[in-house]
Amino acid sequence: MKVIIGLRWLCRPAALLAQAPPTPQGAAGRTAAPRRIDGRLDDAGWTTAKVIEGFKQREPDERLDASEATSVRVLYDDANLYIGAELTDSDAAAIRSLVLKATYSVHW
């Protein structure tokens, strides 16, 4: 009986280490006026919004700190949800835009 209790006590720290990390959370701030959608985050509404950081990467190594700086701000009003993100890429010249155009008509 003492051996079983001893093994349970020794295994307890390992079980605690195996638990998943807490789920990150962010907060959305309320804005009185609608935000202008212009790609800039420098007006008063955005600068007072809480910054969400601490993102983790999925590739090439999952769950490590993001290799590039990333910050997100979230605001809302009575009718809209606004998400502003600053996503850094140290090799911006390698970014490619893919544009898909429909060259046909679909008739239902």
Asked, for residue 104, whether it belongs to a domain, the answer is no
- Determine the structural domain holding residue 84 and report its residue range: 23-90
pLDDT of residue 31: 92
pLDDT of residue 51: 93
User: How many domains is the chain partitioned into structurally?
Assistant: 1
Q: What is the pLDDT along the chain (108 residues), one digit of tens a residue?
A: 555 555 565 566 655 566 777 777 889 999 988 898 898 998 888 988 999 998 888 878 888 888 888 999 999 999 999 999 998 888 888 888 776 666 655 555
Asked, for residue 8, whether it belongs to a domain, the answer is no
Tell me how far apart the alpha carbons of residues 76 and 88 are, in angstroms, rounded to a whole number.
24
Q: What is the pTM of this model?
A: 0.64
pLDDT of residue 95: 80
Asked, for residue 71, whether it belongs to a domain, the answer is yes
Asked, for residue 76, whether it belongs to a domain, the answer is yes
pLDDT of residue 100: 62
Asked, for residue 32, whether it belongs to a domain, the answer is yes
Q: How are beta strands 81-87 and 29-30 bridged, if at all? A: unpaired
pLDDT of residue 18: 64
Asked, for residue 11, whether it belongs to a domain, the answer is no
Asked, for residue 102, whether it belongs to a domain, the answer is no
Asked, for residue 27, whether it belongs to a domain, the answer is yes
